Structure 1
């Protein structure tokens, strides 16, 4: 398994070829690690790419054109080796193409790319999905990053004022909203937000941006708190 790094004045970023998964986003000043470091006792991943399905299908299966297929929770892209097709000091492009194994689970030909690019104190992540088949392709795609944050001083803000809020019913999404969450002001995260598993929000069709903001140490020996802002969606 190969790991690849990009770096600039502010950050050093590491991505592994398995799943093209982001595994580290570290500040060069002070060495703070922004990304969860995959403690297997809690959660063994860092930031998997979910494709061609986000979430779990009923009985982990579906039928297309009369044929039944099996897909695990969050798809297969996170567990497959991707090809590194372009690399510079500040940019990595990984690619995954359909093959006999993927076609046995998901009967569509595709090319999927993950692009990681550093720009100052910001890491931009883009997913590009190309349909190389002769039929309409059905898919969903998502990021699943986990960040190191402190509940005492972490909040979420957004460019959309209000979201419908949903919850899970067992392994599946409850289709009826349980209420709304208001982002007129930054929403301070607490453990109560996750009593029913994930905090699930319905966004507008237009571009929606969420910002996770937390205070982190400027250095291990310095008690001064340095505010960082990380774009998460």
Structure 2
């Protein structure tokens, strides 16, 4: 090989090195204490006012100083959070992508993103579809010591595959499924006649699962903000303390 050719190859390799490093960095995952996926129900049972209550409740939770304090108390002092809304089996929309939270400033940025997020609602209630979509979100940008999905909703599964199948697959991946059930203060008579179980019972028996899983129950949407705040603070605890399987929040 000639000296001129050797020099060209060397220069080409040198120019390619930064690109290779950049490509590797783009696919690298950062370690965090918890990867938390927030899955929010926007089916037709959620009206515009209730949707606004949900989004304001999540934003208020991330502005609570106790949340930043809880994050700082973890071994790594950082968590990663993403939020998506769901309805039909094939309808999930990410409103806030994966974001690293490591203090009050980053928590405020997440809350601000929620303030500006869209507020559409759709039709059916596919908890199984939400579980499947949530499970696919892990390991993309971050690597959490724990993987948690927080599913909030006010109805039972009526679209997509059986919840039991989606739940089993998520648990096999080491994902903890927590629930936030919102109770309608005046349930529809048709639901009672059809034998549909109360939402809190359904979430307790069919939705939550995994080590330390729990259910938060909001007694009406007026109680949602307090419920979601308490729930997320418990979820991000560095060493989750044994707590009740079911907690209830009142307005």
> TM-score, normalised to structure 1's length?
0.30
Higher normalized contact order (CA 8 Å, seq sep 6+, divided by chain length): 2
The structure where helix makes up a greater share of residues is 2
Larger Rg: 2
The structure where strand makes up a greater share of residues is 1
